[in-house]
Amino acid sequence: MIAFSLGFAWLNSSQRVTLRLGVVTLYGVPLTAVAFASVIAGMVVMLVAGIRSDLEVRKVLRARLAEEDREERERMIDTSQQDLFPTEHD
């Protein structure tokens, strides 16, 4: 992947493009800078989307774990147990 990126940058180092960003128009921007910036922007978008998705999954798992813990505690109560070392209050 690095070799591909270096080859792309070397082969297109003299290419210039015009960027029309709605309000602003930029002339003579290097093609490699546009490609690099678009890769970085895509990574940031995926990071933000991934964090949101991860937080939702964690919330669901946390609720499921709490429910399972509550059910396990209800099933595992043993009323016949006695303390080995009773306290003075008993």
The model's pLDDT over 21-57, given as tens digits with 9 standing for 90+, comes to 889 998 998 888 888 888 899 999 999 989 988 999 9
Higher pLDDT, 52 or 74: 52
Q: Is residue 41 part of a domain?
A: yes
Domain that includes residue 34, residue range: 7-75
Q: Is residue 90 part of a domain?
A: no
Q: Is residue 64 part of a domain?
A: yes
What's this model's pTM, rounded to 2 decimal places?
Answer: 0.55
What would you report as the CA-atom Rg of the chain, rounded to the nearest whole angstrom? 30
- The total of structural domains in the chain comes to 1
| Alpha helices by DSSP H, the chain | 2-11, 31-75
Helix 31-75 vs helix 2-11: crossing angle, to nearest 10: 160
Query: How far, in Å, CA of 64 to CA of 58, rounded?
Result: 10
